[in-house]
Chain A
Amino acid sequence: METQVILNSKHFELTINRLCYQLIETHNDFSNTVLIGLQPRGVNVLERIKSRLETILGKEITCGKLDITFYRDDFRRREIPIIPSATNIDFVIEGKQVVLMDDVLFTGRTIRSGLDALLAYGRPENVELLSLVDRRFKRDLPIQANYVGRTVDTLQSERVSVEWKEIEGEDKVVLFTPENNG
């Protein structure tokens, strides 16, 4: 297995900062905007961006976590069912501008499920997508992110992993390539 660091901790922080300022460009003071992280790893993106935004803007930003397990399109196709994580949305989504957040955008199926799950909470004014990493070339559905941390071109056999200081000990994005990848 070959590994390659796509974003090291320094660039990681720069990227998070840039994403925050891009969000501010569109959403100004976030008075009608809510941020929602997709469980499980999108929540890490959410928490990092939320804390950075709150430092920049000096105000609290409404955030929630959304679990999409029950909305997946591969139920009964997997060997082992996925155990759901907690959903925590204690505010009204109706009429709000929603920014969904996830760590890696790949096939787009998770986001599709996320959009479905979101609608169970009401009808937002609009929904945008922020993804820390965008793996191009393998989209199964017509879904694109509005805010992208880093775009990477990968093969399907490769794997991209976003690691966090709080969990893995260091902020970085790593690309894993199997040895016999031609």
Chain B
Amino acid sequence: MDSLSVDHLTGIENLTTNDIELIFKTADSFKEVINRPIKKVPSLRDITIANLFFENSTRTRLSFELAEKRLSADIVNFSAASSSVKKGETLIDTVNNILSMKVDMVVMRHPNPGAAKFLSERVDARVVNAGDGTHEHPTQALLDAYSIREKLGGVSGKKVVIVGDILHSRVALSNIYCLQKLGAEVMVCGPTTLIPKYIGELGVQVEHNLAAALEWCDVANMLRIQLERQEMKYFPSLREYSMQYGLTKKILDGLSKKIVVMHPGPINRGVEITSDVADSSQSIILNQVENGVAVRMAVIYLLASKIKRQ
């Protein structure tokens, strides 16, 4: 009998190891649920969730939506492109307006780091961070660690390398927190311009040579090059990046052991990862997507259980 130590999921940083394990255990049950003929349970029949996406997203939003629907929650969707945000409304006003329509939980993606935490301190609803700028993307990290646990039987003691644009990546930061809390060793790998200067203080190793990093690891998480965040040039060309840091079948087959390949999506095929690697038996990219729904169901279910019925 357990419950989460937090009322909101703003980041992995403030979760305990017990919280993460509780989420995983609950996700195991939901994974079974989403493989039934009827993939729906009635738990959240009286909960309304607003999905607020102030930044583009396809799969995260779809995954959250499916998770909410499979828990029988009522949902409302909102995207910044078609909203009053464009007319100058503040975040708090936007959210409070939505909450006046009796919404219990908010799933939010926002371009500003800290937006989820800011909101959680100011509104009367549970907040789930679906990505806040370059800060955190907690549910992605949870589903990544969950997928490693499923594939390798555990996370503790495993060596995970995160390759690519660490500087702009909220997935990287959340993954580092999550994997370390679960007892894994983490390395980051990428060109010097895309590795934050003081990342070593988080207790991760830094490696600039892809081959060496892959030889060290059990799992490689290949991040997407975020073309939309490259406001200045961090590397000479995509082709050069892909020659230095792209994962090819040749590199993979040349390693002394079989490593697991992950990618949070969307994939730039031929840039950070080639098609034959993405579609190989070592890749668990599609398992990550399936697990995403189960893990998000678990997060929403556990947070919703803290909303006491009046």
A76 touches B308 (CB 8 A): yes
**Contact flags A85-107 to B (C-beta < 8 A → 1, else 0):** 11100000000000000000000
In which size bucket is the chain A interface?
20 to 34
A121 touches B305 (CB 8 A): no
Contacts A70-B42, A76-B307, A76-B309 given; does A83 touch B37 at CB 8 Å: no
Q: Taking the nearest CB of chain B, how far is it from the CB of A71, in angstroms?
A: 6
B1 touches A83 (CB 8 A): yes
Interface residues of A: mostly helix, strand, loop or mixed? loop
B40 lies within 8 A of chain A by Cβ: yes
Give the residues in chain B near A1, CB-CB below 8 Å.
none
Q: Of B40, B41, B304, which is in contact with the most chain A CB atoms at under 10 Å from its CB? A: B41
Q: Kindly state the separation between the CA atoms of A67 and B71 in the bound complex, as whole angstroms.
A: 15
Give the residues in chain B near A81, CB-CB below 8 Å.
1-3, 301-302, 305
B38 touches A83 (CB 8 A): no
Instruction: From the candidates A76, A86, A116, name the one contacting B29 in the complex (CB within 8 A).
Output: A86
A75 lies within 8 A of chain B by Cβ: yes
Nearest opposing residue in chain B for A76, CB measure? B309
B124 lies within 8 A of chain A by Cβ: no
Q: Kindly state the separation between the CA atoms of A12 and B308 in the bound complex, as whole angstroms.
A: 41
Q: Taking the nearest CB of chain B, how far is it from the CB of A95, in angstroms?
A: 14
B29 touches A121 (CB 8 A): no
B115 lies within 8 A of chain A by Cβ: no
Give the residues in chain B near A167, CB-CB below 8 Å.
none
Q: Kindly state the separation between the CA atoms of A120 and B39 in the bound complex, as whole angstroms.
A: 8
Give the residues in chain A near B28, CB-CB below 8 Å.
86
B307 touches A120 (CB 8 A): no
**Contact flags B1-36 to A (C-beta < 8 A → 1, else 0):** 111000000000000000000100110110011001
Give the residues in chain A near B43, CB-CB below 8 Å.
70-72, 75
Give the residues in chain A near B307, CB-CB below 8 Å.
76
A86 touches B32 (CB 8 A): yes
Nearest opposing residue in chain A for B42, CB measure? A71
B32 touches A87 (CB 8 A): yes
A17 lies within 8 A of chain B by Cβ: no
Instruction: From the candidates B2, B29, B37, name the one contacting A67 in the complex (CB within 8 A).
Output: B29
A80 touches B2 (CB 8 A): yes
Q: Kindly state the separation between the CA atoms of A69 and B37 in the bound complex, as whole angstroms.
A: 18
Q: Kindly state the separation between the CA atoms of A86 and B32 in the bound complex, as whole angstroms.
A: 8
28 contacts across the A-B interface (CB closer than 8 A): A67-B29, A70-B43, A75-B43, A75-B44, A76-B46, A76-B304, A76-B305, A76-B308, A77-B309, A78-B305, A80-B1, A80-B2, A81-B3, A81-B305, A82-B1, A83-B2, A83-B22, A83-B25, A83-B26, A84-B26, A84-B29, A85-B29, A86-B29, A87-B29, A117-B41, A120-B37, A120-B38, A122-B37
Chain A residues packing against B (C-beta within 8 Å): 67, 69-72, 75-78, 80-87, 116-117, 119-122
